[in-house]
Amino acid sequence: MIQMNFGFGPLEAEFWRMVFLMTRCGAALFAVPLFGSLQVPAQVRVVLAGGLAVMLCNWTTIAAPAALFSLPGLLDTAGEVVIGLALGFVLQFAFAAPMIAAEMIGASMGMSIATAADPVSGAHSPALGQYFAVLLTVIFLGLGAHLQWFSLLVESYRAFPPGGGWFTPDRMGLIASFGTQMFVSALAIALPVVLLLLLVQLTFGVLARSAPSLNIFALGLPMGVLGGIAALIASAPLLDDALTDLVALGLGQAQALLVK
């Protein structure tokens, strides 16, 4: 067996136990939205993972593998990383749905070229995507969903203790099925605005046929943008309900992973 020993006895055992518990917490904080964004320094995630590990050491009786740096110990650690990444990754589906809806709305409004650097992902996203992301973040934090997610992370140690096995093909299929719900949610968010913009485009199509001298290109884009803004204002109550349901869906997906 390969075991590091610094001669501190029980204190050293508790230290390696805390490090082992930090593995799942750190992987989950790395993959989850908000806490895993580029705006959050890595030191903050390490501190959060360490704080959770200290509390888990008091709340649970989970012990680190006898030989943490042996092959079985490393396999158990890899399993902890997989569970943590999965619990964080399922929430990414919920936060990706508004971005997909923003792509559809932006394309209908003629604002596909209006992009901005997303500080969360580091990539370029539509300007409307930033608006939806801010709304979803406010609703997510306002509903206390981040606290519920931390509760599910702690509950995962009871549902799937280290070394108990978890990553089965059925669970991989379950995670993949969450992707279909992401597209359905994105369609539900974008559909009211896209339908109104379709009516605007049809109206300008009729005008173009009835008055060929009308410069449809000079008037179509401004009216499409104004129609899209008006549709966003009119559908704001529906958007609030849709994003609230999206938060509940993301938490429900994370909870579904913990069901044996």
Look at residue 2 in the predicted model and tell me its pLDDT.
Answer: 44
Q: Which residues contact 106 (CB under 8 A, 6 or more apart)?
A: 112, 114, 126, 127, 128, 129
The label of the residue with tokens 């704080």 reads 51
Q: How far apart are CA 130 and CA 123, in angstroms?
A: 12
CA dist., res. 3 & res. 73, Å (int): 10
Look at residue 122 in the predicted model and tell me its pLDDT.
57
The whole-angstrom separation of Cα 130 and Cα 156 is 32
What are the structural domain ranges in the chain? 10-256
- The string of DSSP codes covering 2-61 is -----S-THHHHHHHHHHHHHHHHHHHHHHSTTTTSTTS-HHHHHHHHHHHHHHHHHH--
Taking alpha carbons only, the member of 83, 251, 89 closest to residue 176 is: 89
DSSP H or E segment with residue 115: strand 115-117
In single-letter form, the type of residue at position 159 comes to A
Are 52 and 151 a contacting pair, CB within 8 Å? no
| pLDDT at residue 1 in the model | 39
Radius of gyration of the chain (CA): 24
5: how many CB neighbours lie within 10 A of its CB? 9
Strand partners, 50: none
Q: What is the pLDDT of residue 180?
A: 83
The enclosing H or E element of 216 equals helix 216-234
pLDDT in tens, the chain (260 residues): 345 555 555 677 788 888 888 888 888 988 888 887 777 788 888 888 888 888 888 887 887 777 777 787 788 888 888 888 888 888 888 888 888 888 888 877 776 666 666 655 556 666 777 888 888 889 999 888 888 999 998 888 888 888 766 667 777 777 888 888 888 888 888 888 888 888 887 887 777 777 777 666 667 677 777 878 888 888 888 888 888 988 998 888 888 888 76
